[in-house]
Chains A and B, each alone.
Chain A
């Protein structure tokens, strides 16, 4: 079946540190890949996405590249801020008219000043 495996947390960094959260997936066909972020007390928000191999999604300084050969979609940011503290979820959606999102377990990121 389809699944997403992401780096277990929690991850604690100092402000301006480099961030990587690993995500790998198993899927039939060619899924679209997503990173969602959940800030404390808020709903899940789409952070970035990529719909085909070698696409790079980017938003708010975060980036992730769809790597078909390694079935990965690692999230990176060059310099994190305290305001980036949140839970990050990697997710996939199969192609065509499929609407179901399959999520990883989430990674809690805490950034200290």
Chain B
């Protein structure tokens, strides 16, 4: 079946602009995660959704970053007033669910490479 998809694959934007990054999880996966991978680093957790709600947004670096998942499927990561330091690969992952009932394997998308000039 189809895996996690992310669009666009590449995004170049100017400093100060607003960007939206989209993630389509695997059908039926209720848990969705965003990670950020800076050059030469491993992925770092940003936010976790269980269904429509953000269960944990402790990894978002500041209030310029926001993510939504209005219907419990597709998620959009939104970055306002982009800065050069936001340049990174943004990874999305999904899993069946997480929580007291169990933690399931996270399946990752190919990522969106964001470059802020």
Verify if B111 is at the interface (C-beta below 8 Å from A). Answer: yes
Is A104's CB under 8 angstroms from B42's CB? yes
Verify if B1 is at the interface (C-beta below 8 Å from A). Answer: no
Is A99's CB under 8 angstroms from B110's CB? no
CB-defined interface of B81-117 with A at 8 Å, one 1/0 digit per residue? 0000000000101010011101101111111000000
State the CA gap A45–B105 with chains docked (Å).
10
CB-defined interface of B1-40 with A at 8 Å, one 1/0 digit per residue? 0011000000000000000000000000001010100001
Question: Given the known A-B contacts A4-B42, A43-B91, A89-B42, are A101 and B106 also in contact in the complex, defined by CB atoms under 8 Å?
Answer: yes
Verify if A105 is at the interface (C-beta below 8 Å from B). Answer: yes
Question: Chain B at the A interface: mostly helix, strand, loop or mixed?
Answer: loop
Is B105's CB under 8 angstroms from A41's CB? no
Verify if A106 is at the interface (C-beta below 8 Å from B). Answer: yes
Is A43's CB under 8 angstroms from B111's CB? yes
**Most chain A beta carbons < 10 A, residue from B98, B108, B111:** B108
Is B98's CB under 8 angstroms from A97's CB? yes
Question: Chain A at the B interface: mostly helix, strand, loop or mixed?
Answer: loop
Is A44's CB under 8 angstroms from B43's CB? yes
- Please classify how large the interface on chain B is, using the bins under 10, 10 to 19, 20 to 34, 35 or more: 20 to 34
Is B41's CB under 8 angstroms from A44's CB? no
Question: Given the known A-B contacts A43-B91, A93-B103, A97-B98, are A103 and B42 also in contact in the complex, defined by CB atoms under 8 Å?
Answer: yes
Interface residues in B43-88 (C-beta closer than 8 Å to A): 43-45, 48, 56, 59
A-B contact pairs, 15 of them (CB 8 A): A41-B110, A43-B111, A44-B43, A44-B108, A97-B98, A97-B102, A98-B103, A99-B106, A100-B56, A101-B35, A101-B45, A103-B44, A104-B42, A105-B41, A106-B42
